[in-house]
A and B are shown apart, each in its own frame.
Chain A
């Protein structure tokens, strides 16, 4: 009889044991699936936010410069453009004007962003066409035309070619023709966005020709962003300097904190499951201990008993973890119903904004390790403890 056949028999018996003692199996399996589903949806959605932020980073300037007036962000003078362009490693400086506008959807007060860009000088325009799902990006000549984020398009029920009416809290009004709609690759940034020419934005927000909300600074090499930021901060007073990295870090950290809350909850749940597995395995002291004693008495080696018990745990934990990951993935794809507002932290802006999902090999591998290793180890210990005692002592217990 081959050793492989022996292992194969132990595997079959382990599987049959799980069926035989199905009550005990389910008592471990159901909490395990729940915990792994929670862990996986959290990991996949956090991964989605991080991925979105990384993609969006391509469209962000290396450095953003804002003016500070009385401790708040104010209008910045375009006279600074030339001075900043004189700083070593600065390739281009582009003005941007933007602001928030109120929007009422049903009984919910929400907000969206009207942003005006200097299309003539836009440095990243070559990357933008693939961020557009429908229609086209703005051209330098476009006036009273807009590209909408998907959330705005849904809220206005607007499509390419439609006209939308907007107004701010001061009563400023404007009508824009929709020429394009952003796709969902950069939703964190684009979903609540109405992108127009900088002249239109200036007109809407009452900015003069030599004013903007902020200046977008592009470096000859992104590695030099910190250097440029330090130089700008050192040369000019009453300004705030933000690097592209700090902005993406802000987004990922914000969602990371929410993820952290779930992570803490998940850890508590995991510990609960492990205690449950331990309690079930420690049940060994009554029935299972006697069973192990009998198996040893009829000639089983301690190693064979531990192998069978570990196989039981492996089957259970692989099955539970796989089912949990799948459930978590489906829940994430469905938009984390019930907690999407908390996940996004901006539900008041656009309820239609879906939670981004990213499922990659490393996340799945990590989930499998977290789901399988502790449970297998924790259930093997009581079997080993019962297995190393003389069979007579184990049976008598």
Chain B
């Protein structure tokens, strides 16, 4: 279970202090499929980044499986990201100098997984996402939709317990969206926790959603 108690996140933009999240409390159970919904700038992405230990909270407390991680040092947070989370970024965040399969398998590299094994695991995921023919293409040679699917594959390469997805269908056509949704459905049946954000309604995933959390101006409404 992931539990958030009265968390706030403030940014400073020049002299202006921006409160991206304001006193948010939420508990997400293991295996739950949670949709974060709300307009752009409402705090969904910030909440996902905090959940995935990509950024720190300004105040409040966070528990992950009964362990408070709010003030964990950097190397513990890296370990948590590696072992627990798979993150699908809205902007894909692939590394342009690497091929698709290299991008997908990059989380495994410092873990000592052999080149052969990394490629095998990457290819399995790329096949599942209909991207195997693009395995040796460089990231900057892929279309937006292909990059999004490669980002999905990278998020799943570690077989994470929790998948965080920031607008994962925003750059892909309906056919590829169905492929991604099929993958998400499979993950749900495996008991993975999935937290996904959309700024608009997504009828294609309605059947998968256990709970919808609405964000507005950094608060849960």
* A296 partner, pick from B78, B97, B114, beta carbons under 8 A: B78
Q: Is the pair A390, B56 in contact by a Cβ cutoff of 8 Å?
A: yes
Check A6/B81 contact, CB under 8 A, given A291-B95, A294-B95, A392-B55: no
Check A388/B74 contact, CB under 8 A, given A1-B113, A9-B112: yes
Q: Is the pair B55, A6 in contact by a Cβ cutoff of 8 Å?
A: no
Q: Which residues of A contact B82 (CB under 8 A)?
A: 298-300
State which residues 126-150 of B face A: CB under 8 Å. Answer: none
Check A297/B87 contact, CB under 8 A, given A20-B97, A390-B54: yes
A-side interface residues, number (CB < 8 Å)? 34
A335 beta carbon closer than 8 Å to chain B = no
Say how far A1's CB is from chain B's closest CB, in angstroms. Answer: 3
Say how far A70's CB is from chain B's closest CB, in angstroms. Answer: 78
Q: Which residues of B contact A2 (CB under 8 A)?
A: 112
A252 beta carbon closer than 8 Å to chain B = no
* B110 partner, pick from A6, A20, A392, beta carbons under 8 A: A6
* A390 partner, pick from B55, B112, B115, beta carbons under 8 A: B55
* A6 partner, pick from B83, B106, B112, B115, beta carbons under 8 A: B112
Say how far A385's CB is from chain B's closest CB, in angstroms. Answer: 13
Q: Is the pair B109, A13 in contact by a Cβ cutoff of 8 Å?
A: yes
Q: Which residues of A contact B154 (CB under 8 A)?
A: 298
Say how far B221's CB is from chain A's closest CB, in angstroms. Answer: 24
B93 beta carbon closer than 8 Å to chain A = yes
* B107 partner, pick from A4, A13, A298, beta carbons under 8 A: A298
- Cβ-closest chain A residue relative to B55: A392
B-side interface residues, number (CB < 8 Å)? 31
Q: Is the pair A391, B54 in contact by a Cβ cutoff of 8 Å?
A: yes
Q: How far is the CA of A12 from the CA of B154 in the complex (A)?
A: 20
State which residues 45-95 of B face A: CB under 8 Å. Answer: 49, 52, 54-56, 74-75, 78-79, 81-83, 85, 87, 89, 93-95
Q: Which residues of A contact B16 (CB under 8 A)?
A: none
Q: How far is the CA of A87 from the CA of B56 in the complex (A)?
A: 86
Q: Which residues of A contact B52 (CB under 8 A)?
A: 297
B158 beta carbon closer than 8 Å to chain A = yes
Q: Is the pair B54, A297 in contact by a Cβ cutoff of 8 Å?
A: yes
Q: Which residues of B contact A12 (CB under 8 A)?
A: 115
B204 beta carbon closer than 8 Å to chain A = no
* A301 partner, pick from B55, B110, B114, beta carbons under 8 A: B110
* B112 partner, pick from A4, A13, A302, A303, beta carbons under 8 A: A4
Q: How far is the CA of A216 from the CA of B67 in the complex (A)?
A: 89
Q: How far is the CA of A302 from the CA of B75 in the complex (A)?
A: 7
Say how far A316's CB is from chain B's closest CB, in angstroms. Answer: 16
Q: Which residues of B contact A392 (CB under 8 A)?
A: 49, 54-55
- Cβ-closest chain B residue relative to A287: B96
- Cβ-closest chain B residue relative to A8: B112
Q: Is the pair B78, A299 in contact by a Cβ cutoff of 8 Å?
A: yes
A229 beta carbon closer than 8 Å to chain B = no
Q: How far is the CA of A263 from the CA of B109 in the complex (A)?
A: 43
Check A9/B110 contact, CB under 8 A, given A296-B78, A302-B78: yes
A339 beta carbon closer than 8 Å to chain B = no
Q: Is the pair A1, B111 in contact by a Cβ cutoff of 8 Å?
A: yes
Q: How far is the CA of A285 from the CA of B106 in the complex (A)?
A: 21
Q: Which residues of A contact B81 (CB under 8 A)?
A: 296-299
Q: How far is the CA of A388 from the CA of B106 in the complex (A)?
A: 20
Q: Which residues of A contact B78 (CB under 8 A)?
A: 296, 299-302
Q: Is the pair B109, A10 in contact by a Cβ cutoff of 8 Å?
A: yes
Say how far B88's CB is from chain A's closest CB, in angstroms. Answer: 11
State which residues 1-23 of A face B: CB under 8 Å. Answer: 1-6, 8-10, 12-13, 17, 20-21
- Cβ-closest chain A residue relative to B113: A1
Q: Is the pair B111, A6 in contact by a Cβ cutoff of 8 Å?
A: yes
Q: How far is the CA of A95 from the CA of B52 in the complex (A)?
A: 91
- Cβ-closest chain B residue relative to A299: B82
Q: Is the pair B87, A298 in contact by a Cβ cutoff of 8 Å?
A: yes
Q: Which residues of B contact A85 (CB under 8 A)?
A: none
Say how far B43's CB is from chain A's closest CB, in angstroms. Answer: 14
Q: Which residues of B contact A20 (CB under 8 A)?
A: 97-98
Q: Which residues of A contact B49 (CB under 8 A)?
A: 392
Q: Is the pair A301, B112 in contact by a Cβ cutoff of 8 Å?
A: no
* B55 partner, pick from A291, A388, A393, beta carbons under 8 A: A393
- Cβ-closest chain A residue relative to B82: A299
Q: How far is the CA of A391 from the CA of B49 in the complex (A)?
A: 9
Q: How far is the CA of A21 from the CA of B115 in the complex (A)?
A: 20
Say how far B99's CB is from chain A's closest CB, in angstroms. Answer: 10
A295 beta carbon closer than 8 Å to chain B = yes
- Cβ-closest chain A residue relative to B93: A294
Q: How far is the CA of A76 from the CA of B176 in the complex (A)?
A: 104
A198 beta carbon closer than 8 Å to chain B = no
A304 beta carbon closer than 8 Å to chain B = yes
Q: Is the pair A301, B93 in contact by a Cβ cutoff of 8 Å?
A: no
Q: Which residues of B contact A302 (CB under 8 A)?
A: 74-75, 78
Q: Is the pair B106, A295 in contact by a Cβ cutoff of 8 Å?
A: yes
Q: How far is the CA of A365 from the CA of B154 in the complex (A)?
A: 44
Q: Which residues of B contact A391 (CB under 8 A)?
A: 54-55
4 closest Cβ contacts across the A-B interface? A299-B82, A5-B112, A1-B112, A6-B112
28 contacts between A and B (CB under 8 A): A1-B113, A3-B112, A5-B113, A6-B109, A6-B110, A6-B111, A9-B110, A9-B112, A9-B113, A10-B110, A13-B109, A20-B98, A294-B93, A294-B95, A295-B106, A297-B52, A298-B154, A299-B78, A299-B83, A299-B85, A300-B110, A301-B75, A301-B78, A302-B74, A388-B74, A390-B56, A393-B55, A395-B89
User: A295-B106, A391-B55 provided; 5 other pairs, C-beta below 8 A?
Assistant: A6-B110, A294-B95, A297-B52, A297-B54, A392-B54
